[in-house]
């Protein structure tokens, strides 16, 4: 169905499209005052064009509709849902929506993809236990999955090139795994994933530190939404390990989101309360520069991606051990950088106590 040379050419065309469209949109953004003004929570200190993710959206869907033989039953629902997310992000970038209104936009988009497309988490097979059928819970679980990953990418979008770079790493990993492990009918998901990576790659040089344009919520929500949908499309009749893969691949944004919720709960704050204690903020507080922080998070994201690939070759015992070591590694990382709080480091305290006992 797919000629890989043609797919490669489409990817190159898509990358060149965003490479050309982005500087054009920078001019448009300044003309129409689509700008991100520095404030207390922001790291940047000058007015910047935002909403740049619209160029990724345009390039990706142009290539998918016009240049690739993607079935309309697959691409049209995706386009409708993504359009709702992008419009929500555009309004937020321009007028700053309330968190609940923005959430309703994402839920609506996820519901449209579920209702119009072939995107649902129907069953989950757990080794030695059997198959769980979600039945009437299909819709809420599917929407929760898409909304959760969409917000995870949006939350991590705090430094130049951070969300775009993490999304490229995650999507490339999903595309590679899908290409080799999905059926022939499902491989179109991997092809679209590679095209989306190409679209981001054309935007990334303008977004990496020092950035000349931001993704904005338009781009961050769009990328998170696409990651959520693409991960689900490869999870029809998923095994437990398959269900874990996207969470491992998106280890950084998932960790940041989860511990932000824990941190705010422990501090008796609303979950939607904004703060400057995300992973990138904590790394910078430890002395890393803006660029060093972004590159460090890229490296950690790449490590998560390699671990995700290892799951596909592991036995059940190997997968369990991998999961245990990942969880321990994440907890140590979180405590070392003080993601929940300087005083909340239970595992490090236990390790220090154990070390003192060994030495004493």
Please write the tens of the pLDDT for every residue from 47-90: 899 999 999 999 999 999 999 989 898 899 999 999 999 999 99
Contact of 233 with 78, CB cutoff 8 Å: no
Q: What would the pLDDT profile of 141-191 be if each residue is shown by its tens digit? A: 999 999 999 999 998 888 899 999 999 999 999 888 888 776 655 788 889
3-state secondary structure at position 352:
helix
Whole-angstrom distance, CA of residue 315 vs CA of residue 199: 36
The pLDDT, as a whole number, for residue 324 is 92
Whether pLDDT at 128 is above 80: no
In the annotated binding site for Mg(2+), the residues are 154, 217
Q: Which of 132-136, 183-187, 244-248, 297-301 has the lowest mean pLDDT?
A: 183-187
pLDDT for res 182 = 63
* 357 vs 230, more confident: 230
CB 17 within 8 A of CB 63: yes
Q: How far apart are CA 171 and CA 231, in angstroms?
A: 9
Q: How do 123-126 and 130-133 pair as beta strands? A: antiparallel
Q: Which residues are annotated as a binding site?
A: 154, 217
User: What local confidence, expressed as pLDDT, does residue 215 receive?
Assistant: 95
Structural domain of 191: 4-359
Q: Which residue has the tokens 């950084």?
A: 252
Domain count across the chain: 1
- pLDDT for the residue numbered 100: 93
Q: What is the mean pLDDT of the chain?
A: 88
Q: What percent of the chain has pLDDT over 70?
A: 92
Name the pLDDT band for 237 (thresholds 50, 70, 90): very low
Q: At what angle do helices 346-359 and 316-337 cross, to 10 degrees?
A: 90
Q: Is the predicted pLDDT of residue 22 greater than 50, yes or no?
A: yes
| pLDDT, tens digit (0-9, with 9 covering 90-100), for 206-232 | 999 889 999 999 999 999 999 999 988
């Amino acid at each position: 169905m797919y000629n890989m040379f043609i797919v490669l050419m489409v990817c190159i065309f898509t990358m060149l499209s965003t490479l050309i469209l982005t500087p054009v949109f920078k001019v448009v953004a300044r003309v129409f005052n689509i700008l991100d003004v520095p404030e207390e929570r922001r790291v940047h200190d000058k007015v910047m064009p935002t909403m740049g993710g619209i160029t990724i959206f345009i390039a990706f869907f142009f290539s998918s509709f016009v240049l690739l033989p993607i079935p309309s039953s697959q691409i049209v629902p995706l386009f409708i849902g993504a359009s709702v997310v992008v419009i929500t992000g555009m309004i937020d970038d321009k007028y700053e929506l309330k968190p609940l209104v923005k959430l309703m936009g994402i839920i609506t988009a996820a519901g449209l993809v579920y209702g119009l497309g072939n995107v649902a988490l129907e069953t989950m097979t757990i080794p030695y236990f059997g198959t769980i059928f979600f039945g009437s819970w299909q819709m809420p679980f599917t929407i929760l999955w898409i909304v959760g990953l969409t917000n995870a990418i949006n939350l991590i979008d705090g430094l130049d090139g951070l969300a775009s770079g993490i999304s490229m790493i995650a999507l490339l990993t999903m595309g590679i795994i899908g290409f080799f492990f999905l059926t022939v009918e499902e491989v179109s998901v991997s092809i679209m994933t590679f095209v989306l990576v190409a679209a981001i790659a054309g935007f990334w040089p303008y977004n990496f530190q020092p950035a000349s344009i931001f993704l904005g919520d338009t781009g961050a929500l769009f990328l998170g939404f696409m990651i959520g949908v693409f991960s689900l499309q490869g999870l029809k009749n998923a095994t437990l390990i398959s269900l874990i893969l996207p969470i491992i691949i998106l280890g950084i944004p998932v960790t940041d989101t989860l511990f932000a919720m824990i941190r705010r709960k422990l501090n008796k704050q609303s979950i939607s309360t904004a703060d400057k204690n995300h992973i990138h903020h904590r790394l910078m507080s430890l002395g890393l520069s803006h660029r060093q922080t972004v590159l460090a998070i890229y490296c950690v994201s790449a490590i998560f991606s390699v671990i995700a690939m290892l799951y596909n070759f592991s036995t059940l015992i190997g997968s369990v051990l991998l999961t245990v070591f990942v969880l321990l590694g994440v907890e140590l990382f979180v405590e070392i950088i003080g993601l929940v709080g300087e005083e909340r480091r239970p595992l490090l305290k236990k390790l220090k106590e154990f070390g003192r006992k060994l030495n004493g």
